[in-house]
Structure 1
Amino acid sequence: MEHLWWDLGLCTAGTGVEVELRGVEAFVRLLDADNYQDYLDDDDYTYYGGVWRTSPLRLEVPYDDHWYLVVDGYEGRITVRRVTTIPD
């Protein structure tokens, strides 16, 4: 499974994750460590995010945990120009 990903490390609830995209629309997911492993294993998983057509976008970490950001392009190439975490 091809995807772009970032290990955001331990983040506290309320931390903002800002993503600047370039290219086609993208599916942007914020996953805790267990759900990221489920994503990699092609098992059911829970995520925060969705389909984004505009940039930049901002997600918020819902609870304290180790987090990953995953970006998939739909039709064509997607470029992530910047990923920034903004402490609460």
Structure 2
Amino acid sequence: MQHLYFDLGSTAGGACFEVELRGSTARVCLMDAEDYQAYLDNDEYEFYGGFYDVSPVVLEVPYDDHWYLVIDSYPRRIKVSIAQVFD
């Protein structure tokens, strides 16, 4: 399974991350640690996000937990930058 991932660590609910995609469309998924493991195991999982062909994408962490940001795309064709957004 080809994907890029970013370990966001323990993140408080309400934190926002901006994802800039260049080179390809992608499915951008924000997952807690349990759902990310299910994703890796090809089990059922839930995520926040969706399929995006326009960027930047801003995703808000829904609750306190350990979070991963997964970019489903062709890793050799896409460039991704991520920044935490502060008000």
Q: Secondary structure at the match of 2:13?
A: coil
Give the total of aligned pairs: 86
| Equivalences for residues 33-52 of structure 1 within 5 A | 33-52=33-52
**Structure 2: which 5+ runs fail to align?**
none
User: What is the percentage of aligned positions where both structures have the same residue?
Assistant: 56
Whole-angstrom CA distance in 2 between matches of 1:6 and 1:43 = 20
Query: RMSD over aligned Cα, in angstroms?
Result: 1.6
Q: Which residue is 1:24 aligned to?
A: 24
Q: Secondary structure at the match of 1:31?
A: strand
Q: Which residue is 1:83 aligned to?
A: 82
Instruction: State the shift of 1:73 in Å.
Output: 1.6
TM-score by length of 2: 0.91
**Structure 1: which 5+ runs fail to align?**
none
Task: Extract structure 1 runs of 4+ deviating beyond 3 A.
Answer: none
Q: What amino acid maps onto 1:86 in structure 2?
A: V
